Each structure stands twice: as structure tokens, then as C-alpha cells.
Chain A
Amino acid sequence: DTGVSQNPRHKITKRGQNVTFRCDPISEHNRLYWYRQTLGQGPEFLTYFQNEAQLEKSRLLSDRFSAERPKGSFSTLEIQRTEQGDSAMYLCASSSRYEQFFGPGTRLTVL
């Protein structure tokens, strides 16, 4: 399978815990995006990488969120001290130029 993969697919955590998600993009894609989607809404942009450089971060993203893309390959998104409002589907997408292809997402539930 050469599509975008994300792990884990589901994560249940208690409020205050830290969580980390991983995204493996399509291998030749140099652009990688993280989005968050809540029920009944469209995906919301979180951050964007071109190769290993994080070029843009949403102003809505609190300091509890951090993302990395070491060596321009896979990416991780970490949420520290999770809150119930962080419960959502976290989507990763990759692109070589125009079309963005989404992974299956990680569904986070914060209890």
C-alpha cells in the first residue's frame, strides 16, 4: 500500500496525559499537513511541513501541540496535557505539489 498511513487509528486517554501520533506520507511527497476534524465539521488546518521544515502553524494551535518531521520523512504530532476539547479526528495529508492525499486519521478520545 503506497498511501498515507497513520498510527494509532484510535487513542483513548485520560485528561492530562500526553499523546503522540505518527504519520507516514506517500514516499515521494515533500509536503505534509496535519488537520483536525470534529463531528459535522470540515477538516481544520493545524500545521504544514515542506521536507523537514515546519513552515506554518495555525494560530489556533496552543503551545500544548507540537509537530516534527525529522529528515523530511514521517511526522509526529504530540499533544501535551490533553483536554476534553482535544477529542477529535487528527488527519494527516501529503502532497507533491497540488493534490493532497489524506491518511485514515487517528481518532482521539479524551476522558
Chain B
Amino acid sequence: QQPVQSPQAVILREGEDAVINCSSSKALYSVHWYRQKHGEAPVFLMILLKGGEQKGHEKISASFNEKKQQSSLYLTASQLSYSGTYFCGTEDFPSNTGKLIFGQGTTLQVKP
């Protein structure tokens, strides 16, 4: 079942912060975050694993609440380059195949 992302769209000014949420109805093994710009492939940002391990970019942070099957992506001091569509991809527990089910996406627009 597809995870639900919120909000669907966000408009920010440069320097402002944003939070994007991802919620699943299933127990999760991992949550992956990607950013996709128009006409380009998704770019890996962050992975959060059951048990607390995280891997990703230094300037991006995220949280994973295993009990609630929720994850949040925190974008601080936004830059113009942050614009794009953000997708969370969830991997069900106990799977360890890496099969991801993606949310519908959150469109972020950063204005000067």
C-alpha cells in the first residue's frame, strides 16, 4: 500500500525551513527519501533503517518513528536548488529486498 505524503506542495522563500512527512499503514524496514527535478531521475537523499541507522547527505536530516510508521524530512535554510519533487519510498518489514513503494510526492518550490 502506497505511503501518504504531506503536504502535497510547499512554496518557500530562500532561507526558510520545511518539513515533509511520510506515513505508512504497514510496519517498515526502511524509509528512503529522493528528490526529483523535472525531466530528471530521482536523486538519493537519505535512508533511515529500522533500529535507528541513517545514511544520507550532511545538509539534510530526517526522522523515523518506527512505532507510528512515519518519517519526516527536514529541509533547513532552503536554497533555490532544493526545488523539486520529494518522494519517500518505503520498504516493508521484514523484507530486505529493497523493494520500494513510493508516495505520491511533495512538490517544493523555493523562491528568491
Which residues of A does B touch, CB under 8 Å? 31, 33, 35, 40-45, 48, 50, 55-56, 91, 95, 98-105
Contact = CB atoms under 8 A, between A and B. Distances in A.
Interface stretch (B13-21, B59-67, B69-77, B101-109): B101-109
A43 to B, nearest CB: 5
Interface residues of B, number: 23
Contacts of B101: 45
B99 A56 contact: yes
B27 interface: no
B47 to A, nearest CB: 5
A98 B49 contact: yes
Contacts of B87: 42-43
B98 A42 contact: no
A33 B98 contact: yes
A103 B40 CA distance: 9
Contacts of B11: none
Nearest to A44: B102
Nearest to A91: B41
Contacts of A104: 40-41
B55 A48 contact: no
Contact of B30 (A42, A48, A98): A98
B21 to A, nearest CB: 15
